Amino acid sequence: MTRPVVIEKIGSVLLLRMQAPPVNALGAQLRKDLQEAVAAAAADPAITSLVVTGQGKLFSAGADIAEFEAGMAKPELPEVLDTIERSRLPVVAAINGSALGGGLELALVCDYRFAARRAKFGLPEVSLGIIPGAGGTQRLPRLIDAEAAIAMTTSGKPVSASEAEAFGLVDRVFDSGDEAVAAAVAHAAALGTARRTARTAPPPALPDSTDFVAQQRLAITRQAKGRDAPLKALESVLNAYALPLDEGLAREAAIFAECNSSLQAKALQHVFFAERQVAQVRGMDAAVTAHTVAGVAVIGAGTMGSGIATACLQAGLKVTLIDVNPGSLAKGAQAIARIIEGNVAKGRIDAGAAAATLQRLELGDSLSAAASADLVIEAVVENMAVKQKVFAELDRIAKPGAILATNTSTLNVDLIANATARPHDVIGLHFFSPAHVMRLLEIVRGAKTSDQAVKTALDLSRRIGKVGVVVGVCYGFVGNRMLEPYARDAHRLLLEGASPSQLDTVLTRFGMAMGVLSMCDMAGNDVGASMRRENRAAIAHDPSYCRMGDVLDARGEFGQKAGLGFYAYAGRDKSERLDLVDLIAAEADQLGIVRREIGDEEIFERCLYSLVNEGCRILEEGIAQRPGDIDTIWCNGYGFPALLGGPMHWAEAHGLQHIHDRLAHWRAALGTYGEAWFSPAASLTELARNRGRLVDLFPSD
């Protein structure tokens, strides 16, 4: 087995190459080998200096996050870095690729940093609910100015090699990793045994402005959106200006430990791994390879179609946008151009790149334009008959082996696939609006979908910068199916006496990016009503089912786009509609629902526990592979706060037994409505009875 640190002697220089695929995470064996190699070099008179570099794409992605739950094994990273820093020999970091977290902290204890141009430098710990714990908050301020050090530590955002050079974080930048290594070795040889600076040198003073710290604190609080770690990181960075290095390091370790034991850290680290685990799909033939996708045809140039086309274009794919309506096609093309050109205005790409992107776009006014596409994505109206017609036609037109995808958000992919003679090539690709922005992609595997089609979809999702989650066929798949009970109960609570703003406020106070009724207004009450029409058989027994959504649809009050919905809109501003109270009361009256004062706690329990309950059913039916897949979907597509880990992780932390008992309470308390919708799922009942964990019934592998 290859050791995680490969040692090479080049003259008097010892080159230490970290080799721990895929990201050179600083796991226990690597730390041990690194520490031993540095200590042995110091004891060897033939060695004058060292170079540390990484094998592969990265220098290092930092500490091994998987170790955080149980605690880091010995030697811990701070000890290893202390050995390097206190060594009598100089060390040059040859940063071949990105240096993140502990990877950057390793580079910080080196005397010099030579970097490849592609390398990025970052302290992303705050996005895992922690702060840098191996000296980052103490050593970075000793190297670069306070504002930059605070920004890097508290935002978690990486900077480029040229920015790092401008800050003074990097000494020299090279075109390639190999050049950086060669130059680092030459520099180390020239240094002899001369170290660069005393390790305890204090940082430059904080900016001479009385309210500098207050301003930083305010800005960070705003950006943190309820996360504790960014302010904790600030506190630790500020210690660097007030305390000697060793004391600052000790405080940093204490704050790190405090953060790492928090619920937020557990939730954010769960989200990190869950987002990566979704790519592991059970029952897939490991030998199957993805279909090569160079050209994509998108059918339907509406908001969804043009958003999907934009996402594919931006990833370098050739796209044919097809719409039989010339007006819609022109509008779709304009929308795409606006987004791409907007990227130039925002400085994200230059004009040349924008022109090249738009050149990859072709327009077509009939389905025959999809004939040469490797992947066809249908994004026409959400109606089974229409979609089946499109797929029957595509079956005749598309080239053999092309993947045929539907962007349906609720409909049965198997019925769509059966309209073709090649159901194995048919798959659901459920994008979220705006499709060029939202990270989530639900990949719907039909009964006959081939492994190759699934693999191709997973590859595509990665290529276009999305997190693709494979789900099974049912009404609404995972995301929209869970949205149904959550939104259904919000609608019902309106009839029982809550106001739209009360409802939405309870949910946003919990941490949802948006209240559910604001979300209905944004998506369009017409869209919701049309989805319900397709599902009428399942909800016909409940005349109150999303009643106000249907009423608003019938009145043409579709939401934001109509200026009226659950709220009144003036541009981006929304206000409460006083006239809605009478309208809701009249509907409640008709349905025989007695209106009463509704407490916030009731809204919280009924909406959120219904969401979790549906998640349990989805797991029982195997529609989602594991709880983490549901969490990934809701954090990336529905604005569930990542700092709570997603609905299933949150449910476990909140108490599965409590959720079960409260659902049972509402089942009994809400009469026939409660009986219809509030029965706890079988798995939830079992877990509540046995005081079990989700993983007991739904293992993650």
Active site residues: 409, 430, 442, 480
CB of 156 to ligand 3HC, least distance (A): 8
- Which three-class secondary structure state does DSSP give residue 58? strand
Does 124 contact ligand 3HC by CB under 6 A? yes
CB of 684 to ligand 3HC, least distance (A): 29
Strands across the sheet with 112-116, in order? 5-10, 13-18, 49-54, 91-95, 112-116, 172-174
Angle between helices 479-496 and 579-591 (to 10 degrees): 90
Does 132 contact ligand 3HC by CB under 6 A? yes
Does 329 contact ligand 3HC by CB under 6 A? no
Phi-psi map region of 681: left, alpha, beta (phi>0 left; psi -120 to 50 alpha): beta
CB of 127 to ligand 3HC, least distance (A): 6
Query: Which residue number, 33 or 64, has a Cβ lying nearer to ligand 3HC?
Result: 64
CB of 89 to ligand 3HC, least distance (A): 24
- With beta carbons less than 8 A apart as the criterion, state whether 305 and 312 touch: no
Structure tokens, 490: 């919000």
- The H or E element spanning position 297 is strand 295-299
Does 240 contact ligand 3HC by CB under 6 A? no
Distance CA 663, CA 155 (A): 39
Query: Which residue number, 132 or 364, has a Cβ lying nearer to ligand 3HC?
Result: 132
- Kindly tell me which residue out of 14, 18, 61, 624 binds ligand 3HC, with binding defined by CB under 6 A: 61
Query: Which residue number, 22 or 400, has a Cβ lying nearer to ligand 3HC?
Result: 22
Query: Which residue number, 101 or 141, has a Cβ lying nearer to ligand 3HC?
Result: 101
How many residues would you count in the chain? Answer: 701
CB of 79 to ligand 3HC, least distance (A): 12
Candidates 131-139, 374-382, 512-520, 541-549: pick the segment binding ligand 3HC (CB under 6 A): 131-139
Does 66 contact ligand 3HC by CB under 6 A? yes
Does 25 contact ligand 3HC by CB under 6 A? yes
Instruction: Give first-to-last CA distance, the chain, whole Å.
Output: 26
Query: Which residue number, 233 or 321, has a Cβ lying nearer to ligand 3HC?
Result: 233
- Kindly tell me which residue out of 4, 62, 364, 446 binds ligand 3HC, with binding defined by CB under 6 A: 62
- Kindly tell me which residue out of 54, 90, 129, 133 binds ligand 3HC, with binding defined by CB under 6 A: 133
- Picking from 128, 278, 325, 134, the residue whose alpha carbon sits closest to that of residue 634 is 278
Query: Which residue number, 107 or 498, has a Cβ lying nearer to ligand 3HC?
Result: 107
- With beta carbons less than 8 A apart as the criterion, state whether 105 and 81 touch: yes
CB of 68 to ligand 3HC, least distance (A): 8
Tell me which residue has tokens 């030579």: 114
Burial code (b: 16+ CB inside 10 Å, e: under 16) for 589-605 equals: eeeebeeeebeeebbbb
Candidates 127-135, 488-496, 503-511, 524-532: pick the segment binding ligand 3HC (CB under 6 A): 127-135
Amino acid at 303: T
- Kindly tell me which residue out of 134, 296, 377, 482 binds ligand 3HC, with binding defined by CB under 6 A: 134
Does 701 contact ligand 3HC by CB under 6 A? no
Does 77 contact ligand 3HC by CB under 6 A? yes
Distance CA 10, CA 501 (A): 69
Does 63 contact ligand 3HC by CB under 6 A? yes
Residue partners of 270: CB distance under 8 A and separation at least 6: 628, 631, 645, 646, 649
- With beta carbons less than 8 A apart as the criterion, state whether 94 and 14 touch: no
- Which three-class secondary structure state does DSSP give residue 405? strand
Does 128 contact ligand 3HC by CB under 6 A? yes
CB of 399 to ligand 3HC, least distance (A): 31
Query: Which residue number, 262 or 433, has a Cβ lying nearer to ligand 3HC?
Result: 262
Candidates 63-71, 221-229, 343-351, 574-582: pick the segment binding ligand 3HC (CB under 6 A): 63-71
Does 364 contact ligand 3HC by CB under 6 A? no
Does 238 contact ligand 3HC by CB under 6 A? no
Residue partners of 76: CB distance under 8 A and separation at least 6: 31
- The H or E element spanning position 313 is helix 303-314
CB of 52 to ligand 3HC, least distance (A): 16
Candidates 17-25, 40-48, 84-92, 141-149: pick the segment binding ligand 3HC (CB under 6 A): 17-25
> Is the CA virtual torsion 43, 44, 47, 53 positive or negative?
negative
CB of 33 to ligand 3HC, least distance (A): 17
Cβ-proximal residue to ligand 3HC, closest one: 101
CB of 290 to ligand 3HC, least distance (A): 16
Candidates 56-64, 350-358, 467-475, 561-569: pick the segment binding ligand 3HC (CB under 6 A): 56-64
- With beta carbons less than 8 A apart as the criterion, state whether 28 and 65 touch: no
Q: How many distinct helices (H) and strands (E) make up the chain?
A: 31, 20
Query: Which residue number, 63 or 224, has a Cβ lying nearer to ligand 3HC?
Result: 63
CB of 136 to ligand 3HC, least distance (A): 6
Query: If DSSP states are collapsed to H, E and C, what string results for 316-378?
Result: CCEEEEECCCHHHHHHHHHHHHHHHHHHHHCCCCCHHHHHHHHHCEEEECCHHHHCCCCEEEE
Query: Which residue number, 63 or 588, has a Cβ lying nearer to ligand 3HC?
Result: 63
CB of 311 to ligand 3HC, least distance (A): 17
DSSP letter for 174, please.
E
Burial code (b: 16+ CB inside 10 Å, e: under 16) for 109-144 equals: bbbbbbbbebbbbbbbbbbbbbbbbbbbbbbbbbbb
- Kindly tell me which residue out of 86, 196, 225, 276 binds ligand 3HC, with binding defined by CB under 6 A: 276
Beta bridge partners of 8: 15
Q: Which of residues 529-558 bind ligand 3HC (CB under 6 A)?
A: none
Q: How many residues bind ligand 3HC (CB under 6 A)?
A: 23
CB of 124 to ligand 3HC, least distance (A): 4
Query: Which residue number, 56 or 639, has a Cβ lying nearer to ligand 3HC?
Result: 56
- With beta carbons less than 8 A apart as the criterion, state whether 272 and 65 touch: yes
Query: Which residue number, 75 or 563, has a Cβ lying nearer to ligand 3HC?
Result: 75
Residue partners of 518: CB distance under 8 A and separation at least 6: 500, 504, 566, 567, 574
Q: Which of residues 79-108 bind ligand 3HC (CB under 6 A)?
A: 100-102, 105
- With beta carbons less than 8 A apart as the criterion, state whether 382 and 534 touch: yes
Candidates 121-129, 330-338, 344-352, 452-460: pick the segment binding ligand 3HC (CB under 6 A): 121-129
- With beta carbons less than 8 A apart as the criterion, state whether 60 and 99 touch: yes
- Kindly tell me which residue out of 64, 442, 557, 602 binds ligand 3HC, with binding defined by CB under 6 A: 64
Query: Which residue number, 102 or 428, has a Cβ lying nearer to ligand 3HC?
Result: 102
- Which three-class secondary structure state does DSSP give residue 292? coil
CB atoms within 10 A of CB 456: 24
Query: Which residue number, 146 or 467, has a Cβ lying nearer to ligand 3HC?
Result: 467
Amino acid at 591: L
> Which positions lie near ligand 3HC, rule CB under 6 A?
22-23, 25, 58, 61-66, 77, 100-102, 105, 124-125, 128, 132-134, 136, 276
